[in-house]
Amino acid sequence: MTLRLTNTLTGRPEPFVPFVPGHVGMYTCGPTVYAPAHVGNFRSFLFADLLRRYLAWLGFDVTWVMNITDVDDKIIRDARREGVPIRSLSERYAAVFLDDARRLRMTPPDVMPRATEHIPEMVTLIEQLLAKGHAYRTDDGSIFFRIASWPAYGRLARLDPTRQRVGERVESDEYDKDDVRDFALWKGPREGEPRWETAIGPGRPGWHIECSAMSMRYLGPTFDIHTGGVDLIFPHHEDEIAQSEAATGRQFVRTWLHCAHLQMGGEKMAKRTGNIERPADVYARGYSPRALRYALIAAHYRAPLEFGEESMRAAAAAVDRLATALAALDTYRKDGPGDPALPALLEEARTRFTAALDDDLNISPALAAVFDLVRELNRRVDARALSTADASSAAAFLRDLDRVLGVMEEEPEQLEPELARLLEERAAARARRDWATSDRLRDELADRGVLIDDTKDGQRWRRAAEARRG
């Protein structure tokens, strides 16, 4: 069985065959850094991360590029409002993004290019488009892509370009272009806006051109996978294809993958409607990053996903269940013969896990395979049917699957010395059957997010995915 992915270009699942055998070039539209990203944004980034992790787990050598858009209208607007250079604003929120991404265990992309550091690449691309007649200048020094020169325009979004609705927003565009549907490659210089002096004149880049320039700079003119939210299909990705293929004459991206929206209250989570939640908000309510990660990746990427208190609670419980199972295996000790059925059990889980993810990253049955295995392992731990070696190979197996999921363990795997001391005190209290002290220490540790289970192998601890409140 091989990996199949639903390509937006064709609308159907296709076997994934990399352009260069064994290697995958993958680009993800990253954040525009003028505010902290919300959890809806992170759904799409974590979807890309899940894909990246799975490809690596399958043995592909993956190059993952995620851009950071550090110049655009909103950044300029907010920087002006604050009276600071755009770089000061963008770097501030880029740092927040990086920190949020790290806590959510997003694999660090191999390259995170910033738009402002790739102006020359964009200029070269625009020059090629001008030379080939796909772009034109306007009086204010802007340069537009001429959609009429590109018959394939609209193919990705399945839109007929001649029947696009022309709404108020399009008409109100301040730039003067030949056709309302044409999009800006380069925006002419304006008072109070940052500008770059370039071979195509002064100004600043349009939004779409950066992704074409940076993806091709690091992955070549044709690469395997490009991901983003469904809202980017049109116009952003449509425009990327047009400008890239018009410039190079080659296919730009082989497989386009789009993630459905995260919803809250039945509607798309979006900054403009205000129904957003940021990672920090979720943590403030007592949930751990890994619970949030689980909530965001646990549903199929092409299905809309409702986010809320209920989904977070369920995610925290699910993640706790996994952590508990792992802790149980780690503390389990028993000499003697092992369970001869164990290898087959693990193999079955691996087969189901892989078959599910191969099927367009269908994570639900993959998680079902993990939870079924967890039940079997717990049952054996309860019955003390495993050997110490069995337990540790089962734990290693789960950790291997977690290279794909990234939800099983919290960052610090060692208990802080202070908490470890409380644990020792509690063990001593229990040895002298001092239940009052034992219970008090258990509560104290729970308040610090460490849950204790008393087992035949002694105390076992794990970090709570949902901190105790009240």
Partner RNA sequence: GGCGACGUACCCAAGUGGUUAAGGGGGAGGUCUGCAAAACCUCUAUUCAGCGGUUCGAAUCCGCUCGUCGCCUCCA
Q: Which residues inside 192-211 make contact with RNA, applying CB under 7 A?
A: 207
* Positions 301 through 360 that interact with RNA (CB under 7 A): 302-306, 310-311, 313-314, 317-318, 320-321, 324-325, 328, 359
Q: Of the candidates 9, 56, 148, 230, which one interacts with RNA according to CB under 7 A?
A: 230
Bond preceding residue 279 cis, omega within 30 of 0: no
Q: Applying CB under 7 A, does 185 fall inside the site for RNA?
A: no
Q: What is the DSSP letter of 37?
A: P
Q: Around Cβ 22, how many Cβ atoms within 10 Å?
A: 8
Looking at the DSSP bridge assignments, the partners of residue 184 are: 144
CA dihedral 151→156→158→163, nearest 10 degrees, is -50
Nearer CB in complex with RNA: 171/418: 171
Q: Near RNA by CB under 7 A, which window of 93-101, 118-126, 141-149, 262-270?
A: 262-270
Query: Can you list the alpha helix ranges (DSSP code H) found in 253-338?
Result: 279-284, 289-297, 309-331
The pair of three-digit structure tokens given for residue 125, joined into one six-digit string: 């691309």
Binding-site member from 82, 117, 382, 416 for RNA (CB under 7 A): 382
Write the CB contacts of 142 (distance below 8 Å, at least 6 apart in sequence). 175, 176, 177, 184, 186, 187, 188, 203
Q: How many CB atoms lie within 10 A of CB 363?
A: 23
Closer CB to RNA, 162 or 414, in the complex:
162
Instruction: Pick the piece of the chain touching RNA (CB under 7 A) from 129-137, 240-248, 337-345, 368-376.
Output: 368-376
Binding of residue 179 to RNA (CB under 7 A): no
CA dist 307 and 279 (Å) reads: 12
Taking CB under 7 A as the criterion, the residue among 21, 83, 163, 199 binding RNA is: 163
- CB 329 within 8 Å of CB 322: no
Please state the closest distance from residue 119 (CB atom) to RNA, in A. 18
Residues that contact RNA, how many (by CB under 7 A): 88
The answer to whether 329 touches 394, Cβ cutoff 8 Å, is yes
Name the minimum Å distance from CB 334 to RNA. Answer: 15
Assess 157 for contact with RNA (CB under 7 A). Answer: yes
Q: Read off φ and ψ for residue 178, nearest 5 degrees.
A: -65, -35
Answer yes or no whether residue 455 interacts with RNA by CB under 7 A. yes
Nearer to RNA, 136 or 175 (CB): 175
By beta-carbon proximity to RNA, the closer residue of 22 and 151 is: 151
> Based on CB atoms, which residue is closest to RNA, 114 or 261?
261
d(CA 109, CA 27): 9
390-419 residues in contact with RNA (CB under 7 A) are: none
Considering the complex, state which of residue 70 and residue 320 has its C-beta at the smaller distance from RNA.
320
Q: How far is the CB of 10 from RNA (least distance, A)?
A: 11
Smaller CB distance to RNA: residue 59 or 266?
266
Q: Are 447 and 418 contacting, i.e. CB atoms less than 8 angstroms apart?
A: no
Cα separation, 251 vs 263, whole angstroms: 34
DSSP bridge partners of 143: 137, 186
DSSP state of 149: G
In the complex, minimum distance from the CB of residue 163 to RNA, in angstroms, rounded to a whole number: 6
CA dihedral 167, 80, 210, 144 (to 10 degrees): 50
- Residues in region 415-444 near RNA by CB under 7 A: 430, 435, 438-439, 442
Give the residue, chosen from 81, 169, 432, 469, that forms a contact with RNA under the rule CB under 7 A.
Answer: 169
Distance CA 38, CA 381 (A): 40
**82 or 267: CB nearest RNA:** 267
Within positions 120 to 149, which residues make up the interface with RNA, using CB under 7 A?
A: none
CA distance 25 to 12: 21
Interacting positions 269-308 with RNA (CB under 7 A): 269-272, 298-300, 302-306
Q: Which phi and psi (to 5°) does residue 397 adopt?
A: -65, -45
User: Of 241-260, which residues contact RNA (CB under 7 A)?
Assistant: 259-260
What is the length of the chain?
470
> What are residue 111's DSSP bridge partners?
65
**Window 34-63: residues binding RNA (CB under 7 A):** 40-41, 43-44
CA angle 72, 104, 210 (to 5 degrees): 25
For the bound state, the minimum distance from the C-beta of residue 340 to RNA, rounded and expressed in Å, comes to 20
Q: Are 115 and 214 contacting, i.e. CB atoms less than 8 angstroms apart? A: yes
38 vs 134, beta carbon nearer RNA: 38
Residue 188 within binding range of RNA, rule CB under 7 A: no
Among 139, 160, 191, 413, indicate the residue that binds RNA (CB under 7 A). Answer: 160
Of 296, 293, 301, give the one whose Cα is nearest residue 360: 301
String marking each residue 210-229 x if it binds RNA according to CB under 7 A: ------------------xx
Cβ closer to RNA: 115 or 135?
115
The distance of closest approach from Cβ of residue 46 to RNA in the complex, given in angstroms and rounded to an integer, is 10
